[in-house]
Amino acid sequence: MNTYLKKDLLQIENLLEIIKKQGTAYINSLPERSTTAKEFIISDNVILPENGCGAEKALEVFNKRFEPIMVSSSGPRYWGFVTGGATPASTAGDWLTSIYDQNTQNVKGQGGISAVIEFETIKLLLDLLRLPDRFLGGFVTGATMSNFTCLGVARQWLGREKGVDIAKGGVSIPMKIFTATPHSSSLKALSMLGLGSGNIIKIKTEEGNREALSIQDFENKISELKGEPFILISSGGTVNTVDFDDFTEIKKLKEKYNFWWHIDAAFGGFAACSESHKHLLKDWEFADSITVDCHKWLNVPYESAVYLVKEEHKLLQMETFQNSNAPYLGDPLENFSYSNFLPENSRRMRALPAWFSLMAYGKKGYEEIISNSISLSQQFGDFIDQSENFKLLAPVRLNTVCFTLKNIEDQDKVDLFLEKLNKTGKVFMTPTFYNQYKGIRAAFVNWMTNEKDVQMVSELMQETIKELKK
Ligand SMILES: *Cc1c(COP(=O)(O)O)cnc(C)c1O
């Protein structure tokens, strides 16, 4: 055995101890640590060392070069994109995922049983999201891959409806895909699936500053198809204004027309945990497939998301992702293997961090996280609404505030304002473009964020705008 390997194995306890200390210090520093990288380093002469230096020395190099510029993206004031954090229990589960290093495939033996944990975690999540257990689910790396998985099964379904097996024969027929305000990742999934991101049929949005699809326009477009089956990609929370399609009306249309109904509820799905907001998801359980991200509002480390596909579609899903060439044998759930149900073959025990967090904090814990984010976004939205310098670009519907500078003449200063604000390192938000305006988004997703953070950022924004006006 290599000397460094041998040494590291002998001192594994010491190594984990060092990492534990460093990890504790990092987590405790999150509220103060900068949200923005102060400098960028470019590595242009990286050379693979001939003999290496052992893990402890490698850590020294990491600490010298990279540690100081790690941003607190899992901290309380990183409001860009839709970024969650990692609860203590999920971090514990994540560490153990690496330590146990399972290749998670089967439920019944064949070398491992870690998929049992994944099955269980899906059940816990369905419970949290108030969904029936008619959904089969699994973990993928993010909502992008979940959309890909769900739309892959949708593609197989649509082929079947038209008499072709797309998994076997490739995409040989035109397919109709409807959507109003899709997330970019759904379009990317369509590209990867050979369906073409440019082939979507855009449904108009409801009138009055909305991103939700117009039911009327949708039905008009359906009737033009004269009974041809199609796919609908609907939104359970758009990223700019967190608008939700009307699932009750879509459910009624699904009773009349033949289509696959997919919902991208990457973060909006967690509205199910809120008494005051769960109505946004009413009837979503009638969808064929649903995307939910766990590394956002569930606050578990990256890479974690689930696909939820109705169990009645298990054969279609198996046809889409079947890995073995063995002739198909009976019920796909009999000798279940995840490698026949999703894109990856070998995969880590991705469910464990979520399992830990769900067990550790339960329904109540998550209801509190969700309602805290919702009330903080309202607090921040009120600040924007009452400010003389800013204005809302859309009402605060859930956990995101989309706003801009108040005076139209200041449109060209939006980028500069955001740059100055982010440069403080005390908060991070992301730019957007909505309704003809340059805007800024602040998303409340992190379990640590509290009212003082919102207060502090509000003051910081006032100072930043003052400086800008000088
Ligand atoms: C974040 C997001 C995605 C993409 O998720 P990743 O986890 O980054 O792959 C898809 N849809 C919606 C609505 C999102 O918010």
In the structure encoding, which two tokens stand for residue 62, read together?
A: 């990491």
Which residues are CB-contacts of 378 (< 8 A; sequence separation ≥ 6)? 396
> Cα 230–234–240 angle (5° rounding)?
145
pLDDT score of 136 more than 90: yes
Give Cα separations from 59 to 65, 91, 147, 199 (angstroms).
Answer: 10, 20, 37, 49
- pLDDT tens column, 187-212: 999 999 999 999 999 999 999 999 99
Atom of ligand 1 nearest to the CA of 295: 7
Averaged pLDDT for residues 119-136:
97
CB 397 within 8 A of CB 241: yes
Residues 138-181 have pLDDT tens digits of 999 999 999 999 999 999 999 999 999 999 999 999 999 999 99
Between β-strands 305-310 and 259-264, what pairing exists: parallel, antiparallel or unpaired? unpaired
Which atom of ligand 1 is closest in space to residue 267's alpha carbon?
15
Residue closest via CA to ligand 1's atom 5 equals 143
Grade residue 108 by pLDDT with cuts at 50, 70 and 90. confident
Q: What is the mean pLDDT of residues 397-424?
A: 95
User: DSSP E strands: which ranges in 155-285?
Assistant: 177-179, 200-202, 230-235, 259-264
- pLDDT tens figures, 427-451: 999 999 999 999 999 999 999 999 9
Backbone angles phi, psi at 403, to 5 degrees: -145, 175
pLDDT at 329: 53
CA dist., res. 456 & res. 429, Å (int): 14
Q: How far apart are CA 437 and CA 102, in angstroms?
A: 48
Q: What is the pLDDT of residue 330?
A: 61
What is the arithmetic mean of pLDDT over 25-49? Answer: 89
CA distances from 104 to 45, 319, 388 (A): 37, 20, 54
Which of 146, 185, 284 has most ligand 1 atoms within 8 Å of CB, for mutation?
185
144 Cβ below 6 A of ligand 1: yes
Q: How far apart are CA 468 and CA 470, in angstroms?
A: 6
Does residue 323 carry a pLDDT above 90? Answer: no
Write the pLDDT tens digit of every residue in 367-405.
999 999 999 999 999 999 999 999 999 999 999 999 999
Average of pLDDT values for 339-343? 94
265-303 burial code (b ≥16 CB/10 A, e <16): bbbbbbbbbbeebbebbeebbebbbbbbbbbbbbbbbbe
Of the candidates 177, 186, 171, the residue with the CA atom closest to the CA atom of residue 238: 186
Binding site membership of 183 for ligand 1 (Cβ less than 6 Å): yes
Calculate the average pLDDT of the chain: 95
Please indicate whether residue 14 or residue 41 has the higher confidence score (pLDDT). Answer: 14
Q: For residue 235, how far is its CA from the centre of ligand 1 (angstroms)? A: 11
Percent of the chain with pLDDT over 90: 90
Using a 6 Å cutoff on CB, does residue 176 contact ligand 1?
Answer: no
pLDDT at res. 109: 64
Task: Say what the pLDDT of residue 113 is.
Answer: 81
Q: What average pLDDT does this structure show over 237-244?
A: 97
Q: Decide whether any atom of ligand 1 lies within 6 Å of the 181 Cβ.
A: no
What is the structure's pLDDT at 263?
99
Q: Which of 29-43, 235-249, 412-426 has the lowest mean pLDDT?
A: 29-43
Q: How far apart are CA 435 and CA 437, in angstroms?
A: 6
The answer on pLDDT for 105 being more than 70 is yes
- Mean predicted confidence (pLDDT) in 34-45: 82
Residue 340 has pLDDT above 70, yes or no: yes
Name residue 259's beta-bridge partners: 230
pLDDT reported for residue 328 = 54
pLDDT digit string (tens) for 52-97?
999 999 999 999 999 999 999 999 999 999 999 999 999 999 999 9
pLDDT band at residue 333, thresholds of 50, 70 and 90?
Answer: confident
DSSP 400: E
Question: What 3-state class would DSSP assign to 98?
Answer: helix
Residue whose entry in the numeric block shows the structure tokens 């990609």: 233
Ligand 1 touching residue 185 (CB < 6 A)? yes
- What pLDDT does residue 37 have? 86
Asked whether 209 and 394 are in contact (CB, 8 A), the reply is yes
Q: What percent of the chain has pLDDT over 70?
A: 98
Tell me, what's the pLDDT at 326?
59
User: CA 280 → CA 108, 248, 306, 348, distances in Å?
Assistant: 38, 10, 20, 34
164-168: long-range contacts, CB 8 A cutoff, minimum separation 24? 165/319, 167/319, 167/320, 167/322, 168/319
CA 286 / ligand 1 centre spacing (Å): 21
Mutational test site, ligand 1, from 293, 299, 304, max ligand atoms within 8 Å of CB: 293
Distance from the CA of 149 to the center of ligand 1, in angstroms? Answer: 13
Q: How far is the CA of 83 from the centre of ligand 1 (A)?
A: 10
pLDDT at 3 over 70: yes
User: What amino acid is encoded at 209 in this protein?
Assistant: N
Element spanning 453, H or E = helix 451-469
- On whether the CB atoms of residues 289 and 310 are closer than 8 A, the answer is yes
Contact 12, 54 (CB under 8 A): no
- Beta carbon of 239 within 6 Å of any ligand 1 atom: yes
